[in-house]
Structure 1
Amino acid sequence: MPRPRSLTPAQLASAALHVIDHDGLAGLSMRAVAQQIGMSTMALYRYVNDRDELERLVVDLVFGAVDTTPPAADRPWHQRIEIMADRVRDTVGAHPGIVPLIIAHRHRSTHLLGWSETVTGILAEGGLDGRDRVIALRSLSAYVIGAIQLEHLGPLGGPGTQVMAELPPTEFPYLTETATHARTVTADEEFHGGLANLLRGMTAETGRPA
């Protein structure tokens, strides 16, 4: 491929995301991205300083597709949180390999910060403030990111659940029974059920009815 005259941050991020989607996060390198674009590795350094900058661009590209507009205020606050969580799951779920990058670059992506700002505002409207709001935001972020990673790297319908279901029931009675039921739980049920449990605790904290 002929080398482009110039590259935009979005083009660089798209190339890096393509590498991650096809080769995993371990496959991301300056050399791999340069090959994807069709230029030398040294030429790529004209646009970015290092892999760390590429990672940030990727996170910003993916989260740029997440709608950060606050949901309609006529909904209960916990339903608005669910909408915000679903938006991230739908978008990031298409590129699960970037999940570790979200953790590393969450404070450097303007789009990710925009999502967090909207969620924090909804939590405030739900009656959470101060330290409670800090913990609530961190809990939600941890849940959404972790749930996406589990859904794609360790799904309930995967081999791990089968292995646990086949454990000796005399030694692992609760785990084997739970694993048997786990095979009937869909990804949507798992995600929304876990989120509902988390939000229920926050609702109790604010003293509002669930």
Structure 2
Amino acid sequence: MKRKKALTKAKIFKEAIKLADNYGIANLSMRKLAKKLNIEAMSLYNHLANKEELLDGIVDEVFSKIDWRTDTKSKSWKPELRKQAIAVRAVLLQHPWSIKLLNSRSNPGPSVLRHHNKVLGLLMSCGFSYSMCAHTYALIDSYVYGFVIQECSLPATRGCDFVEMTASINALSRQGFPYLTKMAEEYYLKPEYSFSDEFLFGLDLILNGVEQAFKH
């Protein structure tokens, strides 16, 4: 008879993330998680103190997925910070529900702390003051998180998708919104258009601004 594998925190967090990915964080409950794991709900409390520990755990697991390899002794902060923002966005797109949790936990796990420490180490080693570290980190995080929220909320993100909205765009024209109509026809409806491309444009503007502030 095949022995059942022992339940671990790692397995619990993995299944919790799957549930959140499929149904949203609002629908993640200890009862549903236990059902997914084929155990009684109370059995979860043999591994977790409460739901807060579960949320702390899945946030830390999400952070552990951020694939950003860099040397904190690097003196090239700008390209490194660019890679960091791109890596964070890639993970958030896989788990958009995590955005509201990422910086809201009062008991951050080791992956969260390592990531923050790594970013700060990069900036400090490049001569950033404490205030510039804080300004830069807040600015980049706000932009990345906000962009992903918008990206995941838009009804269409590519030119070929916007084509399906042509009827609505024509209606705008008739209702007296010529600039919206012109923008759609000359830009958004082009086959090569992708909202995702806007991310790097905005990110580079921010990094250039940080660079100018850092110089002064």
TM over 0.5: yes
Distance 1:20 1:3, change over 3 A: farther
Quick check: 1:60 aligned with 2:60? yes
Matches within 5 A, 1:109-120: 109-120=109-120
**Segment drifting more, 178-187 vs 100-109:** 178-187
C-alpha RMSD of the superposition? 3.1
Q: Structure 1 regions of 5+ residues with no counterpart?
A: none
Show the counterpart of 2:197: 189
Identity %: 25
Quick check: 1:24 aligned with 2:32? no
Matches within 5 A, 1:43-82: 43-71=43-71, 76-82=76-82
Distance 1:92 1:54, change over 3 A: same
Show the counterpart of 2:11: 11
Q: CA deviation at 1:148?
A: 2.0
Q: CA deviation at 1:175?
A: 4.7
Q: Equivalent residue of 1:85, what SS?
A: helix
Q: CA deviation at 1:126?
A: 4.2
Quick check: 1:198 aligned with 2:186? no
8 Å contact from structure 2 (residues 59, 98) kept in 1: yes
Q: Structure 2 regions of 5+ residues with no counterpart?
A: none
Where has structure 1 moved over 4 Å in runs of 4 or more?
2-5, 71-75, 162-166, 168-180
Scaled by the length of structure 1, the TM-score of the pair is 0.81
Q: CA deviation at 1:89?
A: 1.9
8 Å contact from structure 1 (residues 64, 111) kept in 2: yes
**Segment drifting more, 171-180 vs 15-24:** 171-180
Distance 1:187 1:142, change over 3 A: same
Q: CA deviation at 1:30?
A: 0.5
Give the number of the structure whose alpha-carbon radius of gyration is greater: 2
Q: Equivalent residue of 1:105, what SS?
A: coil
**Segment drifting more, 5-14 vs 164-173:** 164-173
Q: CA deviation at 1:22?
A: 1.2
Q: Equivalent residue of 1:167, what SS?
A: helix
Show the counterpart of 1:167: 172
Write out per-residue CA displacement over residues 1-35 of structure 1, whole angstroms, 9 at most, x where no aligned residue.
Answer: x9967422211101111111111112100111101
8 Å contact from structure 1 (residues 60, 111) kept in 2: yes
Q: Equivalent residue of 1:149, what SS?
A: helix
Q: CA deviation at 1:169?
A: 8.2
Distance 1:44 1:67, change over 3 A: same
What is the distance in 1 between the residues matched to 2:18 and 2:170? 36
Quick check: 1:129 aligned with 2:129? yes
Structure with more relative contact order (C-alpha pairs < 8 Å, separation 6 or more) = 2
Letter in 1 for 2:205: N
What is the distance in 2 between the residues matched to 1:88 and 1:144? 8
What is the distance in 1 between the residues matched to 2:3 and 2:204? 50
